């Protein structure tokens, strides 16, 4: 690389897909090459054909040392690619806590959302990345923001996928336990339908509304029964004895 640079190789040359040497080195984790390219005035904010930058690909791959170099070179932190995910979203979705910490420290906006309304917190919650969720909540990520189409929240996604520690964090951050999607579904319904016992227990301890109904009239109890989640059905029987008949 040093020889090529001394021979005046074009530091910003692009592949047929629009990637520059800096993007390739950043994606592959070659920190020393990234350093050389930056010293040779490589365009830190160059974009490939889908709008990705070196910082985006390094963040998605979790190369924190390279992310640090790119941030020091004034890489744009809030840019989005054509599908409208930004850099923080990529790192959060993949669970790269060290990268997320760097990006937040560089003032990346924790509440930017994608075209479909997803935020970094939603993506981290959906994938069970507890440490990333903590970082985002500490950066004042909105715990109750909803996607525009289906009114999905971070708590729905974590509950649906059975990520109990994340559910706990979101509830401690005052997530609305009874928030409803467009069809009337709640986090308790998602967890009950999918058989996530620890999540159901946690939501019940937080006084989730067991009588809430979807548009089709189904309750969380109905869904647990339909999918034969016996342990969850027993949990609801306990609630029935304490509070009433759950609408049955």
Average pLDDT score over residue span 49-71 = 95
Q: Report the distance separating Cα 35 and Cα 45, nearest Å.
A: 15
**For position 240, what pLDDT does the model report?**
77
Decide: 246 and 221 in contact? Cβ < 8 Å.
yes
Q: Is the pLDDT of residue 23 over 70?
A: yes
pTM for this prediction: 0.91
Q: Report the distance separating Cα 22 and Cα 84, nearest Å.
A: 22
Average pLDDT score over residue span 106-131 = 95
Q: Is the pLDDT of residue 25 over 80?
A: yes
**For position 215, what pLDDT does the model report?**
96
- Cβ-based neighbour number of residue 72 at 10 Å: 11
**Segment 226-246, tens digit of pLDDT:** 999 999 999 999 887 777 555
User: Which whole-number Å values give the CA distances from 133 to 25, 47, 140, 182, in the listed order?
Assistant: 29, 29, 11, 25
Domains, the chain, in order of start with CATH, read 1-76 (1.25.40.20)
Q: Report the distance separating Cα 245 and Cα 43, nearest Å.
A: 65
């Amino acid at each position: 690389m040093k020889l090529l640079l001394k021979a005046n190789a074009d530091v910003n040359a692009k592949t047929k897909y629009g990637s520059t040497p800096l993007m390739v080195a950043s994606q592959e984790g070659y920190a020393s090459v990234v350093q050389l390219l930056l010293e040779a005035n490589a365009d830190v904010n160059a974009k490939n054909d889908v709008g990705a930058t070196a910082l985006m690909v390094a963040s998605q791959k979790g190369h924190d040392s390279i992310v640090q170099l790119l941030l020091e070179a004034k890489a744009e932190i809030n840019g989005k690619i054509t599908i409208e995910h930004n850099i923080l979203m990529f790192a959060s979705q993949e669970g790269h806590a060290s990268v997320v910490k760097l990006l937040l420290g560089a003032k990346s906006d924790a509440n930017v959302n994608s075209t479909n309304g997803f935020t970094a917190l939603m993506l981290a919650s959906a994938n069970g990345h507890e440490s990333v969720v903590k970082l985002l909540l500490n950066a004042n990520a909105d715990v109750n923001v909803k996607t525009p189409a289906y009114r999905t929240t971070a708590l729905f996604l974590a509950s649906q996928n059975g990520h109990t520690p994340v559910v706990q964090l979101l509830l401690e951050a005052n997530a609305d336990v009874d928030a409803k999607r467009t069809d009337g579904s709640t986090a308790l319904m998602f967890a009950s339908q999918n058989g996530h016992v620890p999540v159901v227990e946690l939501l019940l301890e937080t006084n989730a509304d067991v009588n809430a109904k979807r548009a089709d009239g189904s309750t969380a109890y109905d869904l647990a029964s339909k999918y034969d989640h016996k342990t969850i059905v027993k949990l609801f029987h306990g609630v029935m004895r304490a509070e009433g008949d759950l609408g049955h």
